[in-house]
Amino acid sequence: MYNRGRRAELAEKLREMLPGLDLVVDAPMSEHTSFHIGGPADILATPGDEDSLRRLLLWADKAAVPLTVIGRGTNLLVRDQGLRGLVVRVGRGLDRADVNDGTISAGAGLALVELSKLAASRGLDGLAFACGIPGSLGGALVMNAGAYDGEMKDVVERVEVMRPDGTRAWLSKGDLDFSHRHSALQGGGLLALRAELALRPGERSAIEARMAEFDRLRAEKQPLEWPSAGSVFRRPQGHHVGPLITEAGMRGARVGGAQVSEKHAGFIVNRGEATAADVMELIERIRAAVRARFDVDLAPEIRIVGEG
């Protein structure tokens, strides 16, 4: 961990370089993740435009300051000692969307829910599945987010990325190597900046009716009343995670403040004061139980970052 003086010095340099930058020193990640868990980020910056983003990346690269990029923090477990170096949040300011016939070009900071509503309002079909996924477009591209009848790979044409040195490139759908909750953007050191999505014409009322049905199903099946990071595990081939966990006897199991949801066993919920260590311990217990009962290895879907 950088000491207090070093953190203040780095923040000072950034404030000189980018006056007006939204920047917080020792930002508790529990306030920036849907799990409400996680130690402090040394520096959390939310760039308000693309040029500030480029300069931040370049600065971190040159100064060899560790960099973590986040969106809305809805698929993240941040460990209890937090994140070292610079955390860049891609959100407000990088969330512009332009609609052109059947194509939407949107910034990675746009909330997926908003993007889904925008598409429906313009009579464009293909993003109804995304109406209840609480992340950003950037996070959805990285995770190939999906639900019900669709996933990002069905609509993405190409993605513009920023490299650590601030240069940019377009990646085509083929380059992105999408598969179940996976894309080439995972762990590749590239920041997703914007995407072009190809949608098909549809009837607004019919699309919105499907979205309302998806919302109803989600509220019925998912523990939305508790903080979580969505489904914890990827779906193993030929199985469904919830039934595996239930039949392995782990539904409702608890470690500290972390609990396997009674409503949907694929979710771990924060019942109050859960720590990342509680969640990690519970994940290991679930994996061991499922392995012992079914000889199936569950791999986490959530992204686990930071120091433990």
Positions marked active-site = 181, 231, 301
Among 71, 82, 126, 242, binds ligand FAD (CB under 6 A): 71
Token digits for 58?
Answer: 């370049």
Nearer to ligand FAD, 52 or 222 (CB): 222
Span interacting with ligand FAD, options 185-193, 200-208, 237-245, 279-287, rule CB under 6 A: 185-193
- 108 phi/psi in degrees, rounded to 5: -65, -20
Contacts of 250 (CB under 8 A, 6+ apart): 260, 265, 285, 286, 289, 290
3-state secondary structure 38-62: CCEEEEEEECCCHHHHHHHHHHHHH
Helix (H, G, I), strand (E, B) or coil at 11: helix
Contact between 258 and ligand FAD per CB under 6 A: no
Nearer to ligand FAD, 23 or 185 (CB): 185
Contact between 127 and ligand FAD per CB under 6 A: no
Nearer to ligand FAD, 120 or 140 (CB): 140
Q: How far apart are CA 263 and CA 285, in angstroms?
A: 19
Helix (H, G, I), strand (E, B) or coil at 185: coil
In the stretch 36-65, what mask flags binding to ligand FAD with x, by CB under 6 A?
------------------------------
Among 54, 72, 84, 210, binds ligand FAD (CB under 6 A): 72
Contact between 139 and ligand FAD per CB under 6 A: yes
Nearer to ligand FAD, 153 or 287 (CB): 153
Among 46, 75, 270, 275, binds ligand FAD (CB under 6 A): 75
DSSP secondary structure string for all residues of 146-168: EETTEEGGGTEEEEEEE-TTS-E
CA angle 231, 235, 239 (to 5 degrees): 125
Can you give the binding site for ligand FAD, defined by CB under 6 A?
Answer: 34, 69-76, 90, 108, 133-136, 138-140, 142-143, 145-147, 185, 191-192, 222, 224, 228-230, 303
